[in-house]
Structure 1
């Protein structure tokens, strides 16, 4: 069966309506274009994100259902609370964003990662522009994990999580949820459900519901200081 997929122009940053995304593969909307700051900003404001592997063109997605965390209902497992009480990892926000993005890429084989060199360069530039943020987890002076993603008003669009020591990404999510709520955050997008996200409490909502959240929240600023470089936890 032949499928029609729109090719994006390099001359503008317009996207097809997300409702036109394919059902199979779920959410595939368009291909081509570039990873310029303007295009990425336009994409995330519409609930669209790039996801592709080495050797493929840039592919753009808007899946349904959408995997999300409702941060106000997030509760860490008792085992995680006990672990962190004993281990006392340090948790920071925007202390080492480019290093965290690089760590996410370095811990995955090239044949399994979507964090290509092109994506690395784009999201590091996105971070320098103030739209991509990271939560870092440290064991002493060693960066051992965390998460990064893109802020769109009161929505945070998670891109990747990483742990090189036990529970690091879970600790990052736990403390970020607390911080995010306290600064007016409404929703954390995690794109496509997988067993790990489900085990942490992610739920699925229809694309239309996600788009409604995004439309209502994307132009509302978080409270002052939300994404300033800071410590979220230190022993």
Structure 2
């Protein structure tokens, strides 16, 4: 492999994702692409992003699961109201469902009646759910660990709970002391920098590298090129959506 590219937290921003891949001149079969999750929710076309991610996976990309994909799976498989509302009402699942052509009347649930998950028929949706179920939580290499949210600094990788890989924040950011660099998304880098205007890749002094540029919040979509730790970015031009 000539180069390795790492991208995270696309969140339905298909235009920026396509622009970024073109900008880095990604060549399947020559370069290695690693995607760190959160392909869906809040953005403009989650379905198109998942279509693209599946194609890239078929061409050799390493594709990991994010917490938003996990929320989507739980919403469709638990049979309970809370996971459905947590995803659809609070975390942008409504925008994802709209990208498949569903309307609010089809996916909304009433608090006044007993919960029954909406029956949403879509071959593309079923295909994407099956794909998400197959995704791994992390990828370990000689010098790097790639993961969506981070690792638990108090346990080994093999002992780490799935929730930590998908959701962990401060204990990892502040407590990681491992020798391998951990490249992660999940937490927009403006929070790591403590600067609302700084969406660039975050290089922590404790071998953590955050690449989530908050694209869906009006920031930027970042890419980290290895082995040279070279940043690439596409600025997001549309207005910041409501969180």
Calculate the TM-score normalised by the size of structure 1.
0.30
User: Relative contact order (alpha carbons < 8 A, sep ≥ 6): 1 or 2 greater?
Assistant: 1
Normalized per residue, which structure has more strand? 1
Calculate the TM-score normalised by the size of structure 2.
0.30
